[in-house]
Chain A
Amino acid sequence: MAVDAKSLIGSQAKPHHEMEAEELRKEHLLLDPMPREEMNQMVMDAMQTTTPRYWAFVIGFGLAVVVLLFGAWGYMIATGMGVAGIRRPVYWGIFIVSFVFWIGISHAGTFVSAILRVFKAEFRRPFTRAAELMTTFGLAAGALYPLIHLGRVWVFYWMIPYPNSRWLWPNFRSPLVWDFLAITTYLLSSTIYLFLPLIPDLAMARDRSKGWRYYLYRTLSLGWRGTEAEWFRLRKAIGIFAFAIIPVMFSVHTIVSWDFAVSMVAGWQSTIFGPYFIIGAILSGVSAVVTILYILRTTMKNFDYFIRPEVFDGLGKLILIFSMSWAYFFFNEYLLNWYGGTAVIKKILTLHATGPSAWVWYVMLICNVAIPWLFLWSKKVRRTPWLMFIITLLVNVGMFAERYTIIPLTLGHQRSPFDWGIYNPTIIEVSIVLGTLCLFIFLYLLASRIIPLIPVWEVQEGQMSHTLRKVGKTTMPSVTELE
């Protein structure tokens, strides 16, 4: 037997607390500081490295956007909405499902960069920008849908309030106009909230670039030097944004839910839709953040220093909590309708669970509830990035199925059985939905090489405020409030 019997004492070459300190350093980014120069270099490297594989993806997804999104959409505009699968009584189909889905995904960024910032959850520091980019691009994809699903999209601007000679203004009592205002507010606010903390990093990039990049960053960084006044002003602005954008985020998805809840459709008249949709959106969004972080970690250079398993761990716990909250709201609605609802609603619930499209309902429950509840308890699972990638992809599939259940399946089964109808999505609809997904990925691919994806100044700020402190016999992380 060639087994070395190592003595217990001899194997502990270092003192106990030093080993702990090393483990803590490996585990937590904020306890593992690197000189700022090196971190800057790593981020610039990641931003400026483009492999042939990257270009293949960019061209591929770009072509996909042109063909799947704009090609199919152009065909639909020229021919008519009839090429989609919508019909009477299901007048809203997979376009509105995708619309709600993308608006939900866009809650990711705000949750991470605003709510986690307000609650001082320090582990948010390396990925706030990646999440904020998701919000902006998710809204860009989602905001196309109110245009895509219009019968006469060429006169969409009648929904915009503008003075005209007929003195006609939009109907501010309609939830669709609220939608328009809310999404515009959220899109503009999100973009600005992405831009403000980006300014110091653009200044860093400006100092390290040449050519077109230098001119781009010089213009965008607004002459940033880093004076106290500049930092103070930025701090104040980010503070206002962080607190103000949270109610905006809640209101946007609540207003989207009111598209359904204020109507007379049986099964939609539910007061719980507001919070239910918000929780679903946060669940969907945080899962999408994990998906994207996994892809970033594996494909961008040097990102495994910044995005460590602790990030997946922390987000995984949040996903589990939100999955439970989602299940609470879902069960709330289900129980009340099942117990004392009108005959129409009881029939709709039966249809959801046993009808021809019942598999959608089961996909929703398995992906939103069963999978997170079974797997996200385990710390080991949460700290395995590729497992989290699969789990969060499935959560988003489940959330898409949830919206599909709420919209076409409920619309098809209203009060008069003579008018019941089954909705079959057509290839044009599926193509456009996939096209917006490709648009999201395409924009993200481009952004990953144009702006630095890691907010290095925030990471350094966090690293400066975290130290290791010897408490008793062990070493523990300690946080100083530098603000």
Chain B
Amino acid sequence: MDTNVRMILFKEDQIDHAAEAIETLHTQGIPEKDISVISGVPFSEKILGRPMSWTRVPQIALAGAFVGFLAASLLNFLTPNLYRMTVGGLPLTPIPTSIVVTFELTMLGLLISTFIGVFIETISPSYGPKGYHPKISDGYIGILFRCPTNVDEKTCLELQDLGAEIVNPAEVKQP
């Protein structure tokens, strides 16, 4: 089955129309994985009737926090034993001071790995139709979908009735 990738744009205040348009696409039998919505402000998936997205950033963040904690424990309890030097009546590896180092390095691990998670997920390949239009950053809501050629025209006419602006395939850019 041949499919075309199409993009339609809705103005920023036409959220309801966008939601209805997505429903239209559903009734045309276009599966969720062939639709992707891009926008200049975040819209909750529930608003547009879409399945929730998933991300693994929180888990990566926790893993990073654990790595930070490990690093801190090594620095606190291993390194003074490598070359023992007594200072000021303090024990070699006191716990109160190690709490400070542990806290800082755990938080560092957490926050850096959050960013690394975002970065890796961003550069990883994503599913759904690719495509972009500069008007998105002007606040438009864009809906990309893979439309089977046989229902192509009918779908486009229906969407135009809802107020969508159909983007010529030649104008669909990459970011």
The answer to whether A and B touch directly, with their CB atoms under 8 angstroms apart, is yes
**Which A residues are CB-close (under 8 A) to B168?**
none
- Interface membership of chain A positions 201-235, coded 1 if the CB is closer than 8 angstroms to chain B and 0 otherwise: 00110111000000000100111111111111111
Q: Are A185 and B80 in contact (CB under 8 A)?
A: no
Are B107 and A228 closer than 8 Å at their CB atoms?
A: no
User: Is residue A192 contacting chain B, with contact meaning CB distance below 8 A?
Assistant: yes
Q: Which residues of B contact A221 (CB under 8 A)?
A: 175
* Interface residue? B111 (CB, 8 A): yes
Contacts of A193 in B (CB 8 A): 111
Residues from chain A with Cβ under 8 Å of B55 in the complex: 229, 232-233, 236
Name the residue of chain A whose CB is nearest to the CB of B109: A185
The listed residue (B58, B76, B82, B128) touching A227 by CB distance below 8 A is B128
- 14 inter-chain pairs at a CB distance below 8 angstroms, sorted by A residue, are A36-B41, A37-B138, A169-B82, A171-B87, A172-B98, A192-B111, A192-B114, A204-B137, A207-B136, A229-B121, A232-B54, A233-B55, A233-B118, A460-B41
The minimal Cβ–Cβ distance linking A146 to chain B, given in whole angstroms, is: 15
| Chain B residues closer than 8 Å to A222, beta-carbon distance | 119, 122-123
Residue interface bits A154-175, CB-to-B below 8 A is 1, else 0: 0000000100001111011100
Looking at chain B's contact residues, is the secondary structure mostly helix, strand, loop, or mixed? helix
B100 within 8 A of A: yes
Given the complex, which residues of B lie within 8 Å of A218, measured CB to CB? 175
Chain A residue nearest to B129 (CB atoms) is A227
Given contacts A222-B123, A240-B114, contact A203 B36 (CB under 8 A): no
Chain A contact residues: helix, strand, loop or mixed: helix
Contacts known (A171-B87, A482-B44); A233 close to B122, Cβ less than 8 A: yes
Is the C-beta of B75 less than 8 angstroms from some C-beta in chain A? yes
**Which residues in window 227-267 of A have CB below 8 A to B?**
227-237, 240-241, 244-245, 247-248, 251, 255, 258
> A474 to chain B: which residues have CB within 8 Å?
none
Are A227 and B126 in contact, CB atoms less than 8 angstroms apart?
yes
**Residues of chain B contacted by A192 (CB below 8 angstroms):** 111-112, 114-115
Q: Please, which residue of chain B has its CB at the minimum distance from the CB of A36?
A: B139
- Chain B residues, CB < 8 A from A196: 115, 118
Asked if A240 contacts B104 (CB within 8 A), the reply is no
CB-based contact A188/B44 at 8 Å: no
Q: What residue of chain A has the Cβ atom nearest to residue B115's Cβ?
A: A192
B16 to chain A, nearest CB (A): 13
A167 contact from B42, B44, B82, Cβ within 8 A: B82
Find out whether the CB atom of A241 lies under 8 angstroms from the CB atom of B111: yes
Whether A225 lies near B38 (C-beta < 8 A) is yes
Q: How far is the CA of A196 from the CA of B117 in the complex (A)?
A: 12
Given A185-B104, A203-B175, A245 and B40 touching (CB < 8 A)?
A: no
A35 touches B114 (CB 8 A): no
Asked whether any CB of chain B lies closer than 8 Å to the CB of A184, the reply is yes
Say yes or no: B41 contacts A464, CB within 8 Å. yes
B40 touches A226 (CB 8 A): yes
Contact (A234, B118) CB under 8 Å given A35-B139, A255-B100: yes
Report Cα–Cα, A229/B41, bound state, in Å.
13
Known A-B contacts A161-B79, A225-B132; A178 and B138 likewise in contact (beta carbons under 8 Å) = no
Report the bound CA distance from A226 to B37 in whole Å.
8
Cα of A185 to Cα of B36 in the assembled complex, Å: 37
Interchain CB contact (< 8 A) of A251 among B39, B61, B103: B103
Closest B residue to A231 using CB positions = B42
Complex CA distance for A100 and B166, rounded to whole angstroms: 57
Q: Which residues of A contact B58 (CB under 8 A)?
A: 236, 240
> A200 is contacted by which of B40, B112, B118 (Cβ under 8 Å)?
B40
Contact (Cβ within 8 A) B100 A227: no
Asked whether A237 and B41 contact (CB < 8 A) given A207-B137, A248-B107, the answer is no
Instruction: Return the contact of A461 from the options B41, B52, B134, B175 (Cβ within 8 A).
Output: B41
Q: How far is the CB of B49 from chain A (nearest CB, A)?
A: 12
Distance in Å: Cβ of B105 to nearest Cβ of chain A: 7
Q: Which of B37, B94, B121, B139 contacts A37 (CB 8 A)?
A: B139
CA separation between A482 and B100, bound complex, in Å? Answer: 38
Q: Which residues of B contact A244 (CB under 8 A)?
A: 107, 110-111, 114
- In the bound complex, CA of A35 to CA of B41 (Å): 13
* B27 contacts chain A at the CB level, 8 A cutoff: no
Let me know if B175 and A224 touch, CB within 8 A: yes
Question: 1/0 per position for B88-110, CB-CB distance to A under 8 A?
Answer: 00100010011011011101101
Please encode chain B, from 145 to 172, with 1 for each CB lying within 8 Å of some chain A CB and 0 for all others.
0000000000000000000000000000
Q: Is A325 an interface residue (CB 8 A)?
A: no
Q: How far is the CA of A483 from the CA of B45 in the complex (A)?
A: 10
A181 at interface by CB-CB < 8 Å:
yes
- Please give me the residue from chain B that is nearest to A180 by CB atom: B104
In the complex, the answer to whether B57 meets A233 with C-beta atoms within 8 Å is: yes
Structural contact, A172 and B97, CB atoms closer than 8 A: yes
A233 touches which one: B50, B121, B134, B139 (CB < 8 A)?
B121
Identify A225's interface contact among B87, B139, B175, CB under 8 A: B175
Most buried by A among B45, B50, B111: B111
User: A460–B139 contact, CB under 8 A?
Assistant: yes
A36: chain B residues at CB < 8 Å are 12, 40-41, 138-139
Please determine whether B83 and A166 come into contact, CB atoms closer than 8 angstroms: yes
CB nearest neighbor in A for B142: A226
Q: For the complex, give the distance between the alpha carbons of A48 and B126 in Å.
A: 34
